[in-house]
Structure 1
Amino acid sequence: MISNSDLKYLRRCVELARTALEKGDHTQHPEFALARWAAANMTRSERSKATVYTSGEHCPMCAAAHGWVGLGRIVYASSSKQLVQWLDEMGVPPSRVRNLPIQEVIRDSIIDGPVPELEEEMRQLHRQFYKRV
């Protein structure tokens, strides 16, 4: 269930995604960097209680990092399934890396998303990115 507080943080994630797009910074995986930071700076108990917010569902690499360090809940604005659909609509060839749902990479995590209120905004960000490529 997405709360108003969750929506606030997700909107901030979308803003950050827009900023990254504008700066041309599209190869970073902040979820991976966050997992590394959490492993170095938080206790296992703190990590298990943490909530990670992202504009898009974790890629398999980031999902694995999330699972390995024992981070808690994941909340994302748009899903891998949506991304695959949007890319297909734009005629973008599929990625060599499969877009797997987080649940197929890690288990025992609470996962919430996608969020319908942010779907169109996320779709537009992907359109802008692929127009540049």
Structure 2
Amino acid sequence: MTASRTLTEEDTRFLTRCVDLAEEALDLGDEPFGSILVDAEGVVRFEDRNRVAGGDHTRHPEFEIARWAAENMSPEERAIATVYTSGEHCPMCSAAHAWVGLGPIVYATSTDQLSGWYLEWGIAAGPVLPLPVQSVAPGIRVAGPSPELSDRVRALHARLRGVAEA
């Protein structure tokens, strides 16, 4: 899915934090994904990284954001908050995002990019179709990917999969 708006400097700053969280996840033995929830005033309300290495593959940061927002923000606050993430939401996280009523999603890399890299590297697809957010939750506004951060995210996934990149 193409961007619904142009990324701003503020978007890039928040996305860089997401990629930092993704790198932290990888350094701690997990898959490289990180996400933050930013309220309408630009305040980071919650952040997390992937935590699936323990065996619970629902421990995506985007899913944790949806849970946290449902417990700690009003429906009105959720609707105008933005989720920034290193990689576009998977179908599970897209659905959670929509059910909780969160606002836009801004991502550093798209589902299409990640799927393309894995295909290029001969990595088998996961157990769930890699659908873009708007195929699961068509009412969610999205923006991304970030050309400035895509190479860094690609390198993290290559490192995870043991792929030597030139």
TM-score, with normalisation over the residues of structure 1? 0.96
CA distance in 1, matches of 2:93, 2:111: 13
Matching residue of 1:75: 106
Matching residue of 2:132: 101
Matching residue of 1:17: 22
Shift of the alpha carbon at 1:89?
1.1
Matching residue of 1:54: 85
CA distance in 1, matches of 2:134, 2:140: 8
CA distance in 1, matches of 2:110, 2:139: 19
Matching residue of 2:46: none
Equivalent pairs: percent with the same residue?
52
CA distance in 2, matches of 1:34, 1:25: 18
Residues 1:89 and 2:120 are matched in the alignment: yes
3-state SS in 2 of match to 1:109? coil
Aligned residues: 132
TM-score, with normalisation over the residues of structure 2? 0.77
From the two aligned structures, give the one with the greater helix fraction. 1
Structure 2 residue ranges without an equivalent (≥5): 1-5, 32-51, 53-58
Matching residue of 1:121: 152
Which letter maps to 1:55? S
Which letter maps to 1:81? D
Structure 1 residue ranges without an equivalent (≥5): none
